[in-house]
Amino acid sequence: MLRIYGVYKSRATRTFWLAGELDLAFEHVPVIQARKLADPLAPGARLNTRSPEFLAVNPMGAIPSIDDDGLKLHESLAINLYLAKKHGGPLAPKDLTEDALMTQWSFFAATEIELNALKISTANAEGRLGTDAGKAEADAVSRLLKRSFGVLEQQLAAQDYLVGGRFTVADLNVAEIVRYAQPYQPLMEEHPHVTAWLKRCQDRPAFKAMWQTRADEQE
């Protein structure tokens, strides 16, 4: 049985979404981020990323992690690539070339987009994106993202999805990173093919189901 450690309001969304796409049965172990608790090591504290029980699974104390019949695996993008390839189907690579491209796009998003996109997501979550200071911060960040978004725009101008002309784990991994920048409309409007692609990804039933569960999650 696949066990997924993490909460929906975390990078674990990527793995929960993929599990939905693959129709995988799994046990959910709701490990919350330690920063959300006043004293994560207090007696009776919720299971969190600093709990000894979880550190025995992932010594880095980061979510998500999985235990797949004894295989403990960390890092959300690696987890998703593994699960897609294990279970096959259209989300998985059909050959070595597609495997390489799916890995490339996943790493590209992690290294070239995620850090700056998270700044937009954080400003939005903290209610600063509607302020002059927040808009100035997002504008500065968006300038740093234009090159990588431009690469995605060029790729998606020629095809609906990143690899193989179909929705794959590469699209899922990259979409969940691009989502962090989604609240800043000027950046999205400047890249219409990226925006249309992201909508296609987020219109999928498995994404919508995951997102509803995320919205209903009690912190």
Distance CA 84, CA 23 (A): 11
pLDDT of res. 117: 97
pLDDT of res. 17: 98
pLDDT of res. 169: 98
pLDDT of res. 110: 98
Pick from 171, 178, 170: nearest CA to 117: 178
Q: Region of 61 please: left (phi>0), alpha (psi -120 to 50) or beta.
A: left
* Structural tokens at position 25: 């049965």
Neighbours of 8 (CB within 10 A): 18
What one-letter code names the amino acid at 182?
Q
**CA 125 from centroid of its chain's CA atoms:** 16
pLDDT of res. 114: 98
pLDDT of res. 218: 83
Q: Where are the alpha helices (DSSP H) in the chain?
A: 13-22, 52-55, 76-87, 96-112, 114-125, 132-158, 169-178, 185-189, 192-202, 205-216
Q: What is the residue whose two structure tokens read 């899922």? A: 172
pLDDT of res. 198: 98
Collapsing DSSP to helix, strand or coil, 160 comes out as coil
Task: Pick out the chain residues at pLDDT < 70.
Answer: none
Side-chain-side CA neighbours of 156 within 13 Å: the count stands at: 26
Helix (H) or strand (E) holding 72, with range, is strand 71-74
Are the C-beta atoms of residues 186 and 143 closer than 8 Å to each other?
no
Distance CA 204, CA 37 (A): 33
What one-letter code names the amino acid at 66?
I
Collapsing DSSP to helix, strand or coil, 118 comes out as helix
Whether the pTM exceeds 0.75: the reply is yes
pLDDT of res. 140: 96
pLDDT of res. 162: 98
Domains of the chain: 2-88 (3.40.30.10), 96-207 (1.20.1050.10)
- Planar angle of CA 13, 218, 32, nearest 5 degrees: 60
* Residue 16 burial by Cβ neighbours in a 10 Å radius (0-12, 13-18, 19+): buried
